[in-house]
Amino acid sequence: MTNPQFDPNAGQYNPDPTQYGQAPGDYGQAPGNYGQAPGQFGQGPPGTGPGFGMPNMAYQQQGMPLAAVARKRGMRQVIIGASIFLVGLVITITTYSHAATSSTGGTYFVAYGPMILGAITIVRGIVAVMRSNRLG
């Protein structure tokens, strides 16, 4: 026994599920008749791709080889890491100088969180640059 279907037009439940609210039997597509054929997604022309002597175009950005892209990303990580580290260092130095010149001694913050995060990002960027040198 199935639950009766609700008919929003009549504002009541319809006891016959073959009437309102049911899609016709041939609605939609038959199974297997949609999408691309198997094995054709994401493949380039023959002879391209890793291991065929030509770099895959998916590994290149703006016509640059893989080594240049990796070097650029590594240098960006070094710059971002240095910026984050400097923000933490400036916060620490500024609050310490205010506390040192205060007549009551004051308090200061050692912003070690940004400094640690910046140092880790710098190291990751340096490793990425060193790895890119091995690629090209």
Model pLDDT for residues 83-121, shown as the tens digit of each residue: 999 999 999 999 999 999 988 888 899 999 999 999 999
10-residue mean pLDDT profile of the chain (136 residues): values are: 62 58 55 55 54 51 78 95 97 94 89 96 96 85
User: Is pTM, for the whole model, over 0.75?
Assistant: no
The sign of the torsion formed by the CA atoms of 59, 62, 67, 71 equals negative
Contact call for residues 42 and 92 (beta carbons, < 8 A): no
- So what's the pLDDT on residue 136? 72
Distance CA 112, CA 49 (A): 45
Residue 67 φ/ψ, nearest 5 degrees: -65, -40
3-state secondary structure of 5: strand
Task: Give the pLDDT of residue 33.
Answer: 55
